Amino acid sequence: MRLDRILPSLPTIGTRARGQHLIELGLVLVDGQARKAAFAVRAGMRLSVTIPDPGPVGVEPEDIPLTVLYADEDVVVVDKQAGLVVHPAPNRRGGTLVNALLHHFGPSTPPGESERPGIVHRLDKDTSGVMVVARTPSALESLARQFRARSIEKLYLGLARGRLRQDQGELTWPVGRHPRERTRMSVASRRGRAAQTHFRVLERLPGASLLALRPRTGRTHQLRVHLAALGHPLVGDRTYGARRPGRSPASQVERVLSACPRQALHAHALTFDHPRDGRRVRFEAALPADLGAVLDALRALGPREDAPAG
């Protein structure tokens, strides 16, 4: 089995992303040698992992505004604003959600490796909405296990270009790294991983459709890539939704769509089992003002059509 697929089964690691990060740092050894993520581990080999000291070493608290939906001794649930990066990276030490959490909740929480304390999932920088962060090691392990088991329910709202004909459907193209552009993902990847997205049309508007999106898997940029492959990229998505030739930028509808300040994607709701007692909890974040303004402008331009409930 690949090395990066073994590591998530270890409770102190929990997620494939964290395992890959440890591999990149050279902290994962097989028979005493640092190996790459794709290294094939066989029976009888000795695997050793060095876990960085817990706590946000080298990451400073910053007084960044934060909308907290819920907090207790185990978890923090926030409504992440668009434009906020989730965690620091070598080229970005500040201005992230982690820096904000350290300011609002103290340096001892949440737990984890130095640059991603408590982070078990992410939203793209320009995607807004609900995120849960662990505050204890046991909560971190519980949430990571739920994400691996795909028992956590995620509901997004997205505004896609064009009027989808189907009221609902499933998108199942595998998603992986783009074969030529390494900063993008693609359904044409040579090593795509299984991905599944359910969509339902909530409202058809001039030039666009408001969708409820439920990702069954959690691939990088999955919703953005799947909708682009469907021919209905997210409004405002500069990476996967470039305006196609033939569209008139002078039309009122196109002016509204082109003026969207970022990709029109919002994590509306997150449902999971609370790490302490297992009760099922759900948290919601209302559609933010920037995307609400785009919807209102489109509604003012012409007739709308509400899709059947279901």
Q: CATH no. for residue 71?
A: 3.30.2350.10
User: d(Cα 35, Cα 48) in Å, to the nearest integer?
Assistant: 11
Residues 18, 58: one domain?
A: no
pLDDT at 117 over 70: yes
pLDDT-derived band at 243 (thresholds 50, 70, 90) equals: low
Highest-confidence range of 13-17, 36-40, 61-65, 262-266, by mean pLDDT? 262-266
Confidence at residue 248, expressed as pLDDT on a 0 to 100 scale: 56
What would the DSSP string read from start to end of 206-240? TTEEEEEEEESS--TTHHHHHHHHHT-PBTT-TTT
The stretches of 61-109 forming alpha helices (DSSP H) are 97-105
pLDDT at 90 over 70: no
DSSP 94: S
Full-model pTM = 0.80
User: d(Cα 117, Cα 209) in Å, to the nearest integer?
Assistant: 37
Instruction: For residue 112, give the amino acid letter.
Output: G
pLDDT at 71 over 60: yes
pLDDT at 222 over 90: yes
Residues 97, 23: one domain?
A: no
Mean of the pLDDT values across residues 55-77? Answer: 86
Residues 302, 159: one domain?
A: yes
Confidence at residue 233, expressed as pLDDT on a 0 to 100 scale: 97
Higher pLDDT, 219 or 92: 219
Percentage of the chain beyond pLDDT 90 is: 62
Mean of the pLDDT values across residues 66-74? Answer: 96
Residues 301, 160: one domain?
A: yes
Residues 199, 296: one domain?
A: yes
Q: Is 124 one of the catalytic residues?
A: yes
Mean of the pLDDT values across residues 11-37? Answer: 81
User: d(Cα 96, Cα 217) in Å, to the nearest integer?
Assistant: 25
Residue 268 sits at φ, ψ, to 5 deg, of -80, -40
- Domain closes at, from 122, 149, 176: 149
- Domain closes at, from 149, 174, 200: 149
Percentage of the chain beyond pLDDT 70 is: 88
Residues 59, 177: one domain?
A: no
Residues 185, 294: one domain?
A: yes
For all residues of the chain together, what is the average pLDDT? 88
Residue 19 sits at φ, ψ, to 5 deg, of -60, -45
Residue 220 in tokens: 């990088």
Note whether residue 284 is domain-resident: no
- Between β-strands 168-171 and 305-306, what pairing exists: parallel, antiparallel or unpaired? unpaired
Query: What would the pLDDT profile of 186-219 be if each residue is shown by its tens digit?
Result: 999 888 999 999 999 999 999 999 999 999 999 9
Q: Residue 55: which of 112, 124, 125 has the closest Cα?
A: 112
Confidence at residue 25, expressed as pLDDT on a 0 to 100 scale: 73
Q: Which of 124, 273, 277, 306 is catalytic?
A: 124
Residues 78, 179: one domain?
A: no
Cβ neighbors of 42 (< 8 A, separation 6 or more) are none
Q: CA of 242: how far to CAs of 141, 160, 245, 295, in Å? A: 39, 12, 9, 20
Higher pLDDT, 9 or 193: 193
Confidence at residue 56, expressed as pLDDT on a 0 to 100 scale: 45
pLDDT-derived band at 155 (thresholds 50, 70, 90) equals: very high
What range does the domain containing 255 cover?
154-267+289-306
Residues 60, 136: one domain?
A: yes
What would you measure as the largest C-alpha separation in the chain, in angstroms?
Answer: 67
User: d(Cα 84, Cα 129) in Å, to the nearest integer?
Assistant: 11
pLDDT-derived band at 17 (thresholds 50, 70, 90) equals: confident
Residues 132, 179: one domain?
A: no
Residues 45, 68: one domain?
A: no
pLDDT-derived band at 115 (thresholds 50, 70, 90) equals: low
Note whether residue 275 is domain-resident: no
Confidence at residue 236, expressed as pLDDT on a 0 to 100 scale: 96
CB–CB of 268/285 below 8 Å? yes
Confidence at residue 133, expressed as pLDDT on a 0 to 100 scale: 93
